[in-house]
Every structure is written in C-alpha cells, then in structure tokens.
Amino acid sequence: MHPVDINEIIDEALRITEPRWSALLNESVPPIRVVRILPDIPAAPGNISELVEVFTNLILNAVDAMPDGGVLTLETTAAGDYIQAKVTDTEVAMDSEKATRVFEPFFTTKGLALGLGLGLSVVF
C-alpha cells in the first residue's frame, strides 16, 4: 500500500468510464450529468490499481442503473483518520431482497446481455 489521492483515483475512473456515460462521446447514451464533490482531502494508504477498479465498477453500476439518464454524484469527505467516498445515482432503489444480494458473484438485475454480475462482487 502507498499513499494515494482518492480524488485522483475517482477522476481516473471517470476518464475510463466516460464513453459509457458521456453523450458527447456516445450519442446513443441518455444524458447523465456527473457531479464531483471532491474537496482537498489527505492521502490515504491504498492500492491504486485496485481502487481504480473499485470506482470504475461503482460508476458503471450506477450508469447502468440509469438507462433513461440522470445524475451521478461522486463525493469524498475526510473525518479523523478516515476517508469516505460516496457514489450515488438518481435511479429508483432496488427492493430489499435484491439489495441483500448485490455483492454475490454472478447476481445481476440487468440480465446477461448487460453484465455478468461481477462488478459489485469485485468492489466487495
């Protein structure tokens, strides 16, 4: 583990995923507005490549949950020795039964055409 800037990692994940959510790059994508609330925060120990993968999967999951467009918000805060990162979208929440299964490998609500159900299990 090395000191990492979580905000830079989030920005890298946004660059990687931009073709999936940016109407400028993909005209068939409904408009998704990205809101970045990323104040200056201290570095935290972490693995850069693993954290980029985590945020990439969270962003793609949120984008897939908004097939008609919406708002994707990425926010970080620091409190004491902890850094909190939050990824939210404006899609309707899933029911509690599905929510209890989101980290199970191969569980998907999107069907196999849109994914294998591994994104959130990788995040976990």
Q: What is the pLDDT of residues 31-68, one digit of tens each?
A: 899 999 999 999 999 999 999 999 999 998 888 888 88
CATH of 2-92 given 3.30.300.30, 1.10.540.10, 3.30.565.10, 3.40.50.1110 = 3.30.565.10
Q: How confident is the model at residue 88 (pLDDT cuts 50, 70, 90)?
A: very high
Q: How confident is the model at residue 103 (pLDDT cuts 50, 70, 90)?
A: low
Number of H helices, E strands in the chain: 4, 5
What's residue 124's pLDDT? 60
Question: Tokens at residue 123, please?
Answer: 């995040």
Please indicate whether residue 39 or residue 69 has the higher confidence score (pLDDT): 39
Please indicate whether residue 31 or residue 14 has the higher confidence score (pLDDT): 14
Strand, coil or helix: what is 53?
helix
Residues 28 and 96 sit within 8 Å (Cβ to Cβ): no
pTM, two decimal places? 0.79
Write phi, then psi, for 86 (nearest 5 degrees).
-130, 130
**Domain spans of the chain?**
2-92, 94-124
Residues 30 and 69 sit within 8 Å (Cβ to Cβ): yes
Strand, coil or helix: what is 22?
coil
Q: How confident is the model at residue 29 (pLDDT cuts 50, 70, 90)?
A: confident
Q: Which residue has the tokens 């693993």?
A: 50
Q: How confident is the model at residue 113 (pLDDT cuts 50, 70, 90)?
A: low
What's residue 30's pLDDT? 81
